[in-house]
Every structure is written in structure tokens, then in C-alpha cells.
Amino acid sequence: MVILSNGYYICDECKLKYGDNALAQKCENWCRKHKSCNLEITKHAIK
């Protein structure tokens, strides 16, 4: 996971940005395990 200077966290797998470390980690874990994105997680991504 990458932390940007503006405080956002990026999923290393799908590159979506999150304002919360826990959500970014959850997204990354899902992406690695399933090789896809989970809509329940990605709906919290920063647009």
C-alpha cells in the first residue's frame, strides 16, 4: 500500500485511493486474493 502526501492510501493492486488505511488494506487484500474488485469496498474509494 502506498501513502500519498495528501494523506490518501492507494491499493497497490487496483490503484484506487482511499482516505482510510483500513479500507485501502481491505481492498488490497481482496484484490490479491480474488484478482478482482469488490463493489462493497470500492464504493468508498475517493473519486
Q: List pLDDT tens digits, range 33-42.
A: 999 999 999 9
Chain center to CA of 36: 12
pLDDT attached to residue 12: 95
Question: And the C-alpha cell for 20?
Answer: 482510510
Q: What is the pTM of this model?
A: 0.88
Express each pLDDT in 1-13 by its tens digit.
788 888 999 999 9
The mean pLDDT of the chain is 95
Question: Total structural domains in the chain?
Answer: 1
CB–CB of 33/26 below 8 Å? no
In 3D space, the residue among 35, 36, 43 whose CA is nearest the CA of residue 18 turns out to be: 43
Decide if 47 is inside a domain. no
Domain limits for position 12: 2-42
